[in-house]
Copies of this chain bind each other. A is one copy, B any other.
Amino acid sequence: MKLASKLLAAAALSAALISPAFAADKVYKLKLAETWPSNFPIFGDATKNMVAMAEKMSNGRLKITIDSKNKHKAALGIFDMVRAGQYDMGHSASYYWKGKDANTLFFTTMPFGMTAPEQYGWFYYGDGMELMKEVYDKHGILSFPGGNTGNQMGGWFQKEINSVDDLKGLKMRIPGFAGEVLAKLGAKPTNIPAGELYTSLERRTIDALEWVGPSLDLRMGFHKIAPYYYTGWHEPATELQFMINKRAWNKLPEDLQEILRVAMRTAAYDMYAQSYHASGENWAKMKTEYPDIKVKTFPKDVINAMRKANDELIAERAAKDPMAKKIIDSQAAYLKKVRVWSEISDNAYLNSQAAE
């Protein structure tokens, strides 16, 4: 080797060792698994939006591949796959993991719980993020809000619900905690795969079902076969979830961690705005095509009975598990304070407008 070449090699080596620019050029490849099928609207858009922001902000130093459930075939296996490091990241919903850890239930939405702006207040300026960290830490996972659907509708019903008696024996597709609440009042909650829902409701195998709201219900077509669309009580602010395996997170330099954190946060907020937009658009379409759809709110005594059943179930959880109690108490205290604000701000405003 000639002297000149040696010197050039030495210069390059020393640059590689001392210049942060060289370290900063390293590309970090992450794999993300989402619960949704390929090209699922809104939920899938949140994941794509997050990845696009992260890649562009990092100038290509972050490369994130998204596998939908069509690829990994394990829609409800995201938690396990991220915990094991099989995937670095996930996009799903925290309440799907209540069988793995009962306290993951509280970080999506709760019946009679907070609305989206209330819940974002709790997550980011109340105790929400810290409590979620406490629950997920032991699983080696970091969890972040992943996009809000807004208030979910109470569902599509073949018959009107005029009293608590009308709930008795009611066959309704309604999964999760809300299903437990209705079961306590004598309803028969069932879970049915998405692909069979339309036929089940049409053939009266079930009397009612809840899905999301106009944003995603339009494509399911329920408005063509059920006359009553009830307003919500059971999922007032469904927040999806981004997850990251902690070991994968710790390997990232600080600037890329911040890029990911901010990309996830923005994608979550953006999904709330997109859901709001799509709900307005799609409800207008439904109403134009099927002007006879009737929007109903459950009567006061039905709401009160559901709420009582809900409070009892919540109290049972709190009595059994100190961490559950800590989260439930935090949410209740926050809701009590912030709800008064919701009532005297947007709610009073909308009521004063509607009243004319």
A295 proximity list for chain B (CB < 8 A): 344, 348
Of B11, B125, B350, the contact of A8 (CB 8 Å cutoff)? B11
Q: Which of A22, A117, A283, A334 has the most CB of B within 10 A?
A: A117
The contact of A276 among B151, B265, B338, B344, by CB within 8 Å, is B338
The CA of A334 and the CA of B11, in the complex, are separated in Å by: 61
Contact of A351 among B262, B337, B347 (CB under 8 A): B347
A270-306 contacts to B, CB under 8 A, are: 270, 272-274, 276-281, 283-284, 287, 295, 297-298, 300, 303-304
- A4–B7 CA distance with the chains assembled, in angstroms: 7
Q: Are A59 and B24 in contact (CB under 8 A)?
A: yes
Q: Which of A116, A338, A349, A354 has the most CB of B within 10 A?
A: A349
Please judge, given known A-B contacts A53-B258, A124-B273, whether A346 and B343 are in contact too, CB under 8 Å.
Answer: no
User: How far in angstroms is the closest Cβ of chain B from A291?
Assistant: 13
Query: A281-B337, A345-B150 are contacts. A255–B298 as well, Cβ < 8 Å?
Result: no
CB distance from A231 to the nearest CB of B (A): 4
Residue A319, interface by CB 8 Å: no
Decide: A307 and B354 in contact? CB cutoff 8 A. no
Q: Min CB distance, A334 to chain B, in Å?
A: 8
Q: Do B236 and A349 touch across chains, with their CB atoms under 8 A apart? A: yes
Asked whether any CB of chain B lies closer than 8 Å to the CB of A15, the reply is: yes
Question: For residues 101 through 117 of chain A, which have their beta carbon under 8 Å from a beta carbon of chain B?
Answer: 112, 115-117
The answer to whether A124 and B270 have CB atoms under 8 Å apart is: yes
Q: B56, B117, B151, B273: which contacts A258 (Cβ < 8 A)?
A: B56
- A259: chain B residues at CB < 8 Å are 57, 259
A54 to B: closest C-beta gap in Å: 9
Give chain B nearest CB distance to A351 CB in angstroms. 7
Q: How many copies, total?
A: 2
Q: Is A353 an interface residue (CB 8 A)?
A: yes
Give the residue of B24, B121, B258 whose beta carbon is less than 8 angstroms from that of A280.
B121
Distance to closest chain B CB from A16 (angstroms): 10
Contacts of A146 in B (CB 8 A): none
Q: Which residues of B contact A233 (CB under 8 A)?
A: 349, 352
Interface readout for A182-217 with B: 1 if CB under 8 Å, 0 if not?
Answer: 000000000000000000000000000000011000
Q: Distance (Å) between the CB of A60 and the closest chain B CB?
A: 8
What does the 1/0 interface line of A314-356 toward B look like (CB < 8 Å)? Answer: 0000000000000000000010011111111111111111111
The answer to whether B345 touches A232 (Cβ under 8 A) is yes
Q: Which A residues contact B (CB, under 8 angstroms)?
A: 3-4, 7-8, 11-12, 15, 19-22, 24-25, 53, 56-59, 112, 115-118, 120-121, 123-126, 150-151, 153, 213-214, 229, 231-233, 236, 253-255, 258-259, 262-263, 265-266, 269-270, 272-274, 276-281, 283-284, 287, 295, 297-298, 300, 303-304, 307, 334, 337-356
